[in-house]
Amino acid sequence: MANMEQLCRQYSKMIGGTGEVKEGICFVTVPRRTLRVTVQGRKVRTPLVKAAIFSFDSPGNDGKAINEANLPLLQSEINKVISEGRRLGLKVGALHNHWVYVKPLLIGLHFQSVENPLTFAKKMQNILRLIRR
């Protein structure tokens, strides 16, 4: 597991977030600090609403893992982020509303891939440059 811990630290650093390994899965959280979000009229700080969350499982012998990104996006960010993700060869796993009664409206975009986690992290660096954080 030490190798996974080291890989998760490197991945977290590349993405610019805080990571940890739980049950063989690396989870990384990248907050969107500039967003002022309310749910049902109340100010929200929880990462469940406004943080990007990334994960990958333990890589196989080929160095590849299942990678996932969950990005809370403003409506104005959706097209440019999806276009860049597709240009980078990522699959869109989901595009949906995460919360109701939220202002501004945040849409959850999920990217997925099977590749080396550090390759995915490099792609996420490109994606995150498009998002106001």
Whether this prediction's pTM lies above 0.85 is answered by: yes
- Report the percent of the chain where pLDDT is more than 90: 86
Instruction: Over range 98-123, report the average pLDDT.
Output: 96
Core vs surface per residue 76-102: b (16+ CB within 10 A) or e: ebeeebbebbeebebeeeeeeebbeeb
β-pairing verdict for 37-39 and 42-44: antiparallel
Identify the band that residue 99 occupies on the pLDDT scale cut at 50, 70 and 90: confident
Query: What is the rounded average pLDDT of the residues 58-86?
Result: 96
**Mean pLDDT computed over 60-75:** 96
**What pLDDT shows up at residue 133?**
66
Q: Residue 114 in 3-state DSSP? A: strand
Task: Kindly report the backbone phi and psi dihedral angles of residue 5, in degrees, each rounded to the nearest multiple of 5, phi listed first.
Answer: -60, -45
Query: 16 in helix, strand or coil?
Result: coil
